[in-house]
Amino acid sequence: MMISVSSRLGYLPYLANPIQKNQFILCQNAEDPFVQWCISNKETAIQTFSFDRSLAEKLMSDGLMGGDEEIAEYERGGIPWCITYTFMPDELKSLLNNLGAKNIELAGPGAYARTIPNELLVKIMNDAKQRADFLDFCYQYDSTPYVCGMGKDNLFAKCDL
């Protein structure tokens, strides 16, 4: 079985860097509307950004992205941005163990890649040999327990049931 859940450690950096998705844009001319939105809203995101320590501490302690306003909107029958529960690696592993899973392997996809500046990612990904070597190494790095959960957004688990 394979499962991907939201990673608490992966999400926390968003609260201090609203433009971090821009780092992973490999083609500025991509037709994808979200890519173009990220590019066109970069300066606004920088200008309007303000770090809120209380939001980071709340996410770190309870694992919830979203809160009272979203819950109230949902209860009124609205369709707010969803409440997202974010997992810590040991929490996910414990849940899977309790469900009888065996041979649990965790990874934090993007943990290594998030440390590389955009200009270098573009260069690596545009060269077939470098890309293959880089992605193989990313898998190796992202699977180590020391960085597990520090992936881009998700925490990945592979196990036997």
| 90 phi/psi in degrees, rounded to 5 | -65, -30
Average pLDDT estimate for 126-132: 98
pLDDT tens per residue, range 74-112: 788 877 667 788 999 999 999 999 999 999 999 999 999
Q: Under a CB-based contact definition with an 8 Å cutoff, are residues 124 and 132 in contact?
A: no
pLDDT (mean) for 54-58: 93
Whether the predicted pLDDT of 130 surpasses 70: yes
Global confidence as pTM = 0.81
pLDDT given at position 73: 81
* Beta-bridge mates of residue 105: 158
Task: Name which of 1, 4, 7, 42 is nearest 23 in CA terms.
Answer: 42
* HSE-up (13 A, CA, CB side) for residue 152: 14
For position 54, what pLDDT does the model report? 93
pLDDT of residue 80: 64
Asked whether the predicted pLDDT for residue 50 surpasses 70, the reply is: yes
User: Which whole number is the average pLDDT over 65-78?
Assistant: 80
Beta bridge partners of 32: none
Helix boundaries (H) for the chain: 8-11, 33-40, 42-48, 53-62, 68-75, 89-98, 118-125, 128-142
Question: Quick one: average pLDDT of 13-41?
Answer: 94
Average pLDDT, the chain: 92
